[in-house]
């Protein structure tokens, strides 16, 4: 267990590559281009110096713009930051590796990369289509190239001084071992999902033994409910040490010897996620004893990304498959929305709404027009609800119902939210309360009255 009192400055040497990786990393999996730029800028200002990108995220250009602006502002040099990006599944053929690398480098506006990862061990049909599907909606895999073939091309990038280190992502220990044994240049980094519900202890021990950096994504559980952020052990430790549950989870990850990636979308959340401190040994051990086991992203089994919004995929599938994937996207968006609502993250909470969304409160005769008014109303709310608990989420197609309970101003409130989606965003929401309320005067600047 790392015992440093200032975990924020922890840097892990790349023993199979060049340089040191800052343990606290900023992940750039953000669907919105404008939010990508502002969130990356805010992360840089909060103190993050490790930025994890990917061709597949579709926003390398925006990340690059934010980083270039930060460097141009002064006080930070290129040598101060650590930048990673990843080779996507459709570029596993050896002859496609270097062109894909150069294209990412160009989009990022950089002269070199600190780390280049194979995004997943699964090769898709080669070409510009990132999500190739057959007429039945099944992914078209490329069975004529091996992971070792791709790794040899990655080694060639190192031979020509193209990047400081190479590694693998979304890979199991059984898949990693043969690559490690056959590799001329050993993997410097392995990036996988890891948190108290999926500690990946065996893989971590292998990485420590072989001097491979273990890089954890989704250390906060990616906002899935229920998840590590709401675990009673984490909550109790957070109260005891005077930190937030997120800060406790991130400190645990660094203290167990891993680097991590987190994706705060606001300046306040970036500052929170960077402001971590070492946990007492008893608290660290308590987290290690959590027995819940849950994998949140199945990409390691199929190569199909679990957290990348489906809107980025050009589907060639049957209508029922498209509907199933859209419903999965909506359910993930709802999980994120309600978690953000519970923790008071107004920016993330309102990502789910269309710019012109309408929210009706029939019992108080109120109508709120537009996402900006919804967010402004929430931000100016006098007091914060507590005891937030989802009872159930039901729905299919574009109509979804959430039942939840909150405690507000000492009163228990049973609430039903009915949301209508279009193109993955809420266009109309109606909320009903078990205990109807009279609209207070302070709300009036953001609402209209309805019959």
Q: What is the pLDDT of residue 318?
A: 43
CATH architecture of 318-449: Roll (3.10)
Taking CA 119 as the corner, what is the angle to CA 116 and CA 122, rounded to the nearest 5 degrees?
135
Q: What is the pLDDT of residue 304?
A: 83
Write out the two tokens for 1: 């267990």
Per-residue pLDDT reduced to its tens digit, 161-180: 989 999 999 999 999 999 99
Domain ranges in the chain are 7-302, 318-449
Helix (H) or strand (E) holding 198: none
Q: What is the pLDDT of residue 5?
A: 59
Same fold, 7-302 and 318-449: no
Helix (H) or strand (E) holding 428: strand 425-433
232, 196 in Cβ contact below 8 A?
Answer: no
Taking CA 431 as the corner, what is the angle to CA 427 and CA 437, rounded to the nearest 5 degrees?
140
Q: What is the pLDDT of residue 321?
A: 46
Per-residue pLDDT reduced to its tens digit, 304-357: 876 665 434 443 344 454 555 567 778 778 878 887 777 677 778 888 999 899
Annotated active-site residue 57? The verdict is: yes
Q: What is the pLDDT of residue 4?
A: 58
Spell out, as residue ranges, where the chain has pLDDT lower than 50. 310-319, 321
Q: Would you say domain 7-302 falls under CATH 3.40.50.720?
A: no
Phi and psi for 23 in degrees, rounded to 5? Answer: -65, -35
Catalytic residue among 57, 116, 180, 408: 57
């Amino acid at each position: 267990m790392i015992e440093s009192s200032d975990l924020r400055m922890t840097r892990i040497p790349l023993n199979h590559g060049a340089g040191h990786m800052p343990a606290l990393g900023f992940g750039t999996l953000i669907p919105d281009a404008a939010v990508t730029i502002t969130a990356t800028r805010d992360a840089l200002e909060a103190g993050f110096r490790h930025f994890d990108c990917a061709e597949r995220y579709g926003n390398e250009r925006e990340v690059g713009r934010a980083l270039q602006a930060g460097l141009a502002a002064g006080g930070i040099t290129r040598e101060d930051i650590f930048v990673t990006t990843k080779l996507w599944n459709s570029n596993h053929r050896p002859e496609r590796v270097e062109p894909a690398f150069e294209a990412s480098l160009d989009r990022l506006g950089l002269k070199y990369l600190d780390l280049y990862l194979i995004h997943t061990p699964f090769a898709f049909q080669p070409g510009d289509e990132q999500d190739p599907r057959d007429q039945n909606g099944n992914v078209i895999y490329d069975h004529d190239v091996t992971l070792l073939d791709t790794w040899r091309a990655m080694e060639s990038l190192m031979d020509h001084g193209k990047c400081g280190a190479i590694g693998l992502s979304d890979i199991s220990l059984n898949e990693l071992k043969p690559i490690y044994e056959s590799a001329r240049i050993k993997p410097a980094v392995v990036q996988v999902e890891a948190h108290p519900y999926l500690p990946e202890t065996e893989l971590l021990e292998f990485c420590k033994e072989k001097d491979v950096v273990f890089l954890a994504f989704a250390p906060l559980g990616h906002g899935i409910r229920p998840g590590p952020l709401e675990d009673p052990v984490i909550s109790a430790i957070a109260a005891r040490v005077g930190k937030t549950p997120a800060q406790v989870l991130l400190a645990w990850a660094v203290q167990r010897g891993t680097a991590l990636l987190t994706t705060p979308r606001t300046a306040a959340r970036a500052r929170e996620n960077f402001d971590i401190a070492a946990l007492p040994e008893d608290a660290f051990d308590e987290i290690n004893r959590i027995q819940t086991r849950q994998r949140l992203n199945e990409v390691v089994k199929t190569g199909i990304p679990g957290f990348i919004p489906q809107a980025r995929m050009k589907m060639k599938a049957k209508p029922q498959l498209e509907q199933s994937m859209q419903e999965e996207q909506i359910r993930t968006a709802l999980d994120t929305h309600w978690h953000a609502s519970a923790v008071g993250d107004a920016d993330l909470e309102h990502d789910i709404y269309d710019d012109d969304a309408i929210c009706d409160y029939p019992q108080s005769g109120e109508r709120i027009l537009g996402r900006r008014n919804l967010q402004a109303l929430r931000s100016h709310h006098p007091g914060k609800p507590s005891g937030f608990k989802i009872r159930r989420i039901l729905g299919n197609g574009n109509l979804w119902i959430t039942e939840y309970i909150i405690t507000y101003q000492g009163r228990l409130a049973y609430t039903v939210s009915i949301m209508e989606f279009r193109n993955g965003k809420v266009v109309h929401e109606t909320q009903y309360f078990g205990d109807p309320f009279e609209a207070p005067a302070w709300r009036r600047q953001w609402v209209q009255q309805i019959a």
